[in-house]
Amino acid sequence: MSVFNLAGGLFIFVVSWIMLVLDIEPFPSWFYCFMWWSYILITDSWVFLRTGNSLLLSRTKEFLFLLPVSIVIWLIFECINLSLKNWYYVNVIEITWLRWIGYSISFATVLPAIFETTELLESTALLKGWQVRPRRFTPVMLNYTMLSGAVFIILCITWPRYFFPLVWCGFILALDPVNYRLEAPSVLKEWERGSLRKPALLMIAGLVCGIFWELWNFWATTKWVYTVPFFDEFKLFEMTAPGFLGFIPFALECYVMTAFIYLCRRNIGWERDTGKTWRIQRFNLLTRIALVFCSAFFCFAVFKGIDRTTVDSFRPYIKEITIIPAERRARLEQCGIIMVKDLVRLKSAVHRQQEALQCIAASRDELSAWIKSAEMVMLKGMGAHNFLLLSKAGITDVDKLAQQDAHTLRMSLEHLIANGDENERIPDEAKIRAWIKAAQNIIKA
């Protein structure tokens, strides 16, 4: 079975890359999901072949339980991001129910990816035998640690511009003392035993997964874009270089939050060796049903919040680009140019341009102008809505956008909205700055 999973994971991995390069749907839009689920299959099979025990093949029920837990834990960070606004999603699937399935499939990979990578590292000799001086933690120390964690979380939500990094360590400080007191797996418990190998491997796994998260996100069509304050430069993929440090404590945070959630279960843990160490109060059936209902409502509410706030653009279609005359849009669609990216492809395909000109019955200048508009729509996942908003300010191509100042442009858009549709959502200055920077990079190239 492990060999079958390994072969299946490798097959999905390779085919997904090929289909991405060929731009064949659904792979560009679902690339992130294909990559992570193939990675999880490959890593789990590798762990099983090395140790004879893996999360998916040996602890299948725990693997399946981790999936909804992973969704809930990541949605906590999505909820906080409604205040932080450190990232947003672009080129998202426009069909609500399908988009929500995409959220669920994507967010369900977070914990399995980190924990599978950790178990793979554990199967090696890395940091084996590493010992530290044992430390006993007093109730006073635990209380102060919990208080610090609570303060960190409050600060990052209340003053996100300056305290946003605290979100990646606040839950460790707030929840790990609880896990320690209830004898659940915890970072403090490992320290007390004189070994920090497990926390160290988790942090390494977090960095490894972080690199893959950013690598695969960079090439995907449906993706996230960062607008982190003070860190606009020195980017590796979509993430600024210092931002990769956040993945290190994030893995520990996932471990601690998972252990805390597992307190609702009886004598069971996702790890191979934690089943006997739990001391858990059993919840009655009514309480468990209430917890499931509250979790489902929380997921529903945050999904709505993501749609309303974090999603910035949907996959753009030609029919949405209203600066192209309606009869021309209809002709473009009849000629097989349905999506905006289909129009962008014509720029590098001279023979297709000639065919398109004959099919559309348009002039070369008209087609050239439409292609420039399409390039701008696709820039950083700007999308049709934002492009049409900028077009009202006379900015219809990348060259014009590259000459703008983010603050001045946003003020201009505010003035336009004040005299028009009051319900229009104005892009944040950070997003506008990201668009301008991307346009300038294209001009320089």
- Structural domain boundaries in the chain: 2-310, 318-444
Q: Which two tokens stand for residue 299?
A: 């997921």
Of 299, 270, 103, nearest to 202 (Cα)?
270
**Distance from CA of residue 305 to its chain's centroid?**
15
pLDDT at 281 over 70: no
| pTM to 2 decimal places | 0.91
* pLDDT value of position 67: 96
Give the C-alpha distances (Å, rounded to integers) separating 208 from 46, 92, 246, 247, 314. 16, 26, 12, 9, 30
- Which distant-in-sequence residues (6+ apart) come within 8 Å of 158 by Cβ? none
Q: Torsion over CA of 299, 303, 308 and 312, rounded to 10 degrees? A: 140
Return the half-sphere exposure (C-beta side, CA atoms, 13 A cut-off) of residue 204: 15
Question: Residue 61 contacts by C-beta under 8 Å, 6 or more apart in sequence?
Answer: none
Mean pLDDT, residues 270-275: 69
Q: Which residue has the higher pLDDT, 421 or 435?
A: 435
- What is the per-residue pLDDT across 395-419, written as a single tens digit (0 to 9) for each? 888 989 999 998 898 888 888 776 6
Around Cβ 57, how many Cβ atoms within 10 Å?
16
**For residue 249, is the peptide bond before it cis, meaning its omega torsion is within 30 degrees of 0?**
no
Does the pLDDT value for residue 283 go beyond 50? yes
Strands annotated E in 26-185: 87-90
Question: Measured between alpha carbons, how far is 103 from 418 in angstroms, rounded to an integer?
Answer: 34
CB 145 within 8 A of CB 240: no
pLDDT in tens, 231-244: 666 667 777 778 78
Q: Average pLDDT for residues 260-268, to the nearest whole number?
A: 77
Q: Which residues are CB-neighbours of 372 under 8 A, at least 6 positions away?
A: 396, 397, 398, 399
Task: Inform me whether the pLDDT recorded for 279 exceeds 50.
Answer: no
pLDDT at 270: 81
Tell me the two tokens of residue 175: 């929840």
What tokens appear for 159 in the block? 């003053």
Lowest mean pLDDT, pick from 97-101, 218-222, 243-247:
243-247
Nearest to residue 20, comparing CAs of 31, 11, 5? 31
H/E stretch holding 340 reads helix 340-345
The size of the chain, in residues, is: 445
What whole-number distance in Å separates Cα of residue 272 and Cα of residue 256? 16
Could you tell me if 355 and 349 are in contact, meaning their C-beta atoms sit under 8 angstroms apart? Answer: no
Give residue-wise pLDDT tens across range 138-184. Answer: 999 999 999 999 999 999 999 988 888 899 999 999 999 999 998 88
